[in-house]
Structure formats: C-alpha cells, structure tokens
Amino acid sequence: MNQLEKEEYLREYALLKAKGKPFFPYAIAKDSAMAVITLIVIILMSLILGAELGPKADPTTTTYVPRPEWYFFFLFEVLRIIKPPEFVPMATIGVPTLCMILLFLLPFYDRSAERRPERRPIATAAGILTIFAMAYLTFLGANAGSPNEIDMAPPADLKGAALTEWNQGRLVVAQSGCLACHQIGENGNHGPGPRLTHIARNLPAAAIAQTLRNPTAPMPSFQRLSDTEPEKFNAMVQFLGSLK
C-alpha cells in the first residue's frame, strides 16, 4: 500500500465507522450470545464425551501406540508420509517452522490494498488450499492405524514357522514404541537411539536379547515381556537378529 492508498483507506474507514453503531450494547450483545453458545457447547461436550482416564503411564510398557490430540494429527501424518531419515527433521520441524514464519510475515509480503476475497485470487486460493490440505492431513492422521508399522519384506530364505515368527517379531517391535527412538528401514525416528536397520551386523542375537532385557536408559526394559510372554520376546529377537 502506498501513502495514497493508506490515506484513502483511512478516510473510507472513518466514514464507515461514523455510520456504525456503538460497541455497547450492539456488538456486545452478539458477543455475549456467542459466549453463551460457546459455553453450552463446552458443557454438552463435557457431559456427552466425558473425561476418560486411560491406564496409568508405564515407562516399561512395550506395546503402546502413541497418539496425539486430534489437532496435531496433521503433523503426525506429515511425519508418516516423509520417511527418508535425512528429511525427517525437515518434516517435523522445518515445515511447521516455515509455515509459522510465512504466517507471521503475511502482512509484510501481501501489501496490496485490495481486501475483497474474490479480488485477491492468490491469497484466497492459498487460504482455501491450506484449509483443505490441513483437513485432508487431519483426516488421514485420524484414520491411520498405528504409526508404528515397519514396511519391510521378510528375508527370501525364511519359510514356515520361522517366517511366522519373523512376522510376529516385526509386529511386536512395531507396537513396542521402538520406532519413537530408533529407525528401522524407512520407519521410525532418527534418534535418540541408534539406527537398527543393520543392527545384526554388529550384534549377534544373544547380545540383542541381552540389550532388550537390560538396556541403557531411557530405553525401557523388556525383561518383563521375556518373563511373561517369552514367545513374543523371542520373536522380537529373531526379527532384530535378521536385520543384516
């Protein structure tokens, strides 16, 4: 906006404002009605949906799938879509940070004087597109099963019971939250734990089992799993032991 446009706007605005009504009681009446609706909605949601409390936090659990609040689903989905490890920080931090910077600076790069949405086609289209993209990502994030899936084909030479065990191990590892800290193939987070894609090259299966039972913090111990459900534990070890 140049000086002329600014002055024109201020003049136009002063005229519209002079024709307007006082905030009290006219605008405040609408605001209060809206406040009452807001309160009613919150109360109804509380009464209908309640406030469930899940099982107590247990740092040693091995089968919990983390899910964020629904309005973070889109972020979650971005994380699922972008798999290559060198892009993960970009997806989780880079994209949101960039979006926030773009949002902060909006008034400084969109400087035209026009305000009607239909005469600002780029801004309006970008806004609508953003809304649809967020809605779509939220929808995908909401319907995604476990974020912890390991997309990996079994080694070709596995057959029969060994193959079943391998698949079970893959499932248990995927559901045990390992991917929150480790990367396996294309899945999982970059850190803080080391990458497990080729873990069996350095560690024999027995050493892997040892680490699972007796890990260094913050990794949870799988001792309990190995006591209560040894077949699951052994499947995990078998699966991890196949990662050459």
Binders of another protein among residues 212 to 231 (CB under 8 A) are 217-218
Judged by CB under 8 A, does residue 108 bind another protein?
yes
Instruction: Give yes or no for residue 156 binding another protein (CB under 8 A).
Output: no
Tell me the C-alpha distance between 1 and 9, whole Å.
10
Count of residues of this chain found to bind another protein when the rule CB under 8 A is applied = 88
Note whether 180 binds another protein by CB under 8 A.
yes
User: How many Cα atoms sit within 13 Å of 80 on the Cβ side?
Assistant: 21
| Smaller CB separation from another protein, 24 or 244 | 24
My answer on whether omega of the bond before 147 falls inside 30° of 0, hence cis, is: no
Residue appearing with tokens 């390991």:
150
- Which stretch in 109-117, 149-157, 160-168, 224-232 sits in contact with another protein by CB under 8 A? 109-117
Integer Cα distance of 215 and 79 in angstroms? 27
Cis peptide before 192 (omega within 30 of 0): yes
Least Å distance, CB 6 to another protein, is 6
38 vs 214, which CB is nearer to another protein? 38
Report if residue 89 touches another protein, rule: CB under 8 A.
yes
Q: Which of residues 4-63 bind another protein (CB under 8 A)?
A: 6, 9-10, 12-13, 15-24, 26-28, 30-31, 33-35, 37-39, 41-43, 45-47, 49-51, 53-59, 61
Using the rule CB under 8 A, which residue among 82, 83, 95, 123 binds another protein? 123
Q: Kindly report the backbone phi and psi dihedral angles of residue 80, in degrees, each rounded to the nearest multiple of 5, phi listed first.
A: -70, -35
Give the residue with the Cβ less far from another protein, 12 or 227.
12
Tell me which residue of 72, 55, 73, 77 sits closest to 64, measured CA to CA. 55
Q: Does 139 bind another protein (CB under 8 A)?
A: no
With CA atoms as reference, report the closest residue to 68 among 92, 42, 43.
92
Rg of the chain, C-alpha, whole Å = 27
